[in-house]
Structure 1
Amino acid sequence: MRNEQLKMMIVSALFAAIIAVFAQISIPLPFSPVPITGQTLAIGLAATILGSRYGTLSVGIYLLLGAVGAPVFAGMIGGLGSLVGPTGGYLVGFLPTAFIIGWYLEKTSFSVKQAIIANLIGMIVTLAFGTAWLKVAADLTWTAAIAGGVTPFIPLGIVKAVLAAIGGIAVRKRLESARLLSIQTN
């Protein structure tokens, strides 16, 4: 049991590193202080593969690394300033996003259909947290915050949700069949 927990904590740390790498896939938008990044795809993969507990742990490790100054956030930046700046709400929103995706899958099934639904819900959670904070941090109206913090992210967000679902379920099934993934769902 203890070895299994240690193994899953190591896998969670590995996924934190994967999130950091995917964060560097970043497309700046001229009309928004928030870039399009690969973070949400990596978080969807982590939660779909690892479930609520370890998926959320991987995001927590990632955020902690960034908060203490490791350059893991988009654009190779880190530090507490990232968490209180215009993108801070998206970063903080990754925690409930990972938990909700994993929890939803644990309560339904780890199938592609359910994973797509879970990842789309996760996209909405991230955008809600991010946009609410963007409004405050950048002193925007709701209309401007939604225009810069939601609208440009929906099309690619849907694509990333589907990719995270399909890829995540495929990887999870292979890891389970190889007995490399032992996750107890609640």
Structure 2
Amino acid sequence: MSKNISINRIAVIALMAAVLCILSPVSIPIFISPVPVSLGVLAVYLTAYVLTPIDALISVIIFILLGALGLPVFSGYSGGLGKLLGPTGGYIIGFIFTVYISSLIIHLKKGILYDVIGMVLGLALCYLPGTLWFSYQQGKGFIASLALCVVPFLIGDIIKIFVAYILGSQISKRLNHLNL
């Protein structure tokens, strides 16, 4: 029986890594920022709902490693170490913190308030290393980098939080019902 549980756990971790690889490349460049609007954050939130904090972390690390190896899983169907080391690489690395904190809080307490708090804190932990790295890479001040790379995305990220809450809680319930 324990082998079956391990296989199920591995399968769901792999499934969520695949979801990250499918949704994250979908992006739209915007003229006011060098960072595109992508579905990556939404995929990270869904992963946080479906998986425990450690499993969610493993799934995101798999996604990042696949991208680092050159698979086109990052925004705009890009991949490679150059993307991770480039101006927006800090946001991709920030997914590690986002998924762990979001999943931790989502699984710690039930309810929309805790889920939203978890996702907002997770997003802040994505924005921080991302903006610091962008600022360093581009030689811009932190506030100027926030204005370019965070402010234009706040409304979209709020929408992603609520979409993730609706989808994530339903997917999680159904997977729990199936004992996955």
Is it true that 1:60 corresponds to 2:61 in the alignment? yes
Is it true that 1:140 corresponds to 2:156 in the alignment? no
- Alignment partner, residue 78 of structure 1: 79
Is it true that 1:89 corresponds to 2:90 in the alignment? yes
Q: How much has 1:2 moved relative to structure 2? A: 3.1
Counterpart mapping for 1:1-186 below 5 A: 1-109=2-110, 111-179=111-179, 181=180
1:43-62 per-residue CA deviation (whole Å, 9 max, x = no partner) reads 00001111201111110110
TM-score with structure 2 length normalisation?
0.94
TM-score with structure 1 length normalisation?
0.91
Percent pairwise identity: 36
Amino acid at match of 1:38: L
Q: How much has 1:143 moved relative to structure 2? A: 2.3
Contact 1:41–1:161 under 8 Å retained in 2 = yes
1:31-79 per-residue CA deviation (whole Å, 9 max, x = no partner) reads 3211110000010000111120111111011000000111111111111
CA RMSD of aligned residues (A): 1.3
Contact 2:26–2:77 under 8 Å retained in 1 = no
Amino acid at match of 1:175: L
1:74-103 per-residue CA deviation (whole Å, 9 max, x = no partner) reads 111111111110111000000111110111
Amino acid at match of 2:58: L
Q: For residue 72 of structure 1, give the secondary structure of its aligned residue in structure 2.
A: coil
Tell me the distance in 1 between the aligned counterparts of 2:90 and 2:130. 4
1:103-162 per-residue CA deviation (whole Å, 9 max, x = no partner) reads 1123223x3332222112212111112111110111111222011111011110011011
Tell me the distance in 1 between the aligned counterparts of 2:79 and 2:26. 15
Aligned pairs, number: 179
Tell me the distance in 2 between the aligned counterparts of 1:88 and 1:40. 14
Tell me the distance in 1 between the aligned counterparts of 2:116 and 2:52. 14
Contact 2:25–2:72 under 8 Å retained in 1 = no
